[in-house]
């Protein structure tokens, strides 16, 4: 068995025309992605509406994340994280243009009505 050490802030695709998604790990019930944004946003009128829960953390940069029904976007900076339950419609209003915005996104099956605090 060969184990490798990686750094989430290395090998960033600076200035890419589109967000770069990289699978870091996956299992039967989850997947973990690194997303690198360089000024991208969700196209006007589009919303993410996923069947899975998503836990997302900003590792670097800043972003404005709008949750459907909220009056203003949530401003996220490095270290900020958010749990988006399945079917929570959301969109990225903006990401940093002066450098990469690095997201760590964990997607997993909902707990079927149970709360994470119950485990």
Q: Which fold has domain 20-110?
A: Jelly Rolls (2.60.120)
Q: What is the pLDDT of residue 44?
A: 93
- pLDDT in the model for residue 119: 42
Tens of pLDDT along 6-51? 999 998 876 778 889 999 999 999 999 999 999 999 999 999 999 9
What are the start-end ranges of the E strands in the chain? Answer: 20-26, 30-37, 53-60, 62-67, 74-77, 81-84, 90-95, 101-108
pLDDT digits (tens, 9 = 90+) for 60-72: 999 999 999 999 9
């Amino acid at each position: 068995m060969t184990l490798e050490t990686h750094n989430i802030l290395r090998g960033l695709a600076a200035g890419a025309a589109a967000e770069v998604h990289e699978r870091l790990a996956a299992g039967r019930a989850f997947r973990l992605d690194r997303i690198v944004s360089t000024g991208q946003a969700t196209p006007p009128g589009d919303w993410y509406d996923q069947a899975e829960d998503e836990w997302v953390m900003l590792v670097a940069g800043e972003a404005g994340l709008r949750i459907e029904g909220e009056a203003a976007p949530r401003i996220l900076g490095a270290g900020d994280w958010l749990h988006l339950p399945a079917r929570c419609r959301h969109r990225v209003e903006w990401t940093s243009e002066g450098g990469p915005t690095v997201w760590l996104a964990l997607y997993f099956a909902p707990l079927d009505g149970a709360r994470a605090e119950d485990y």
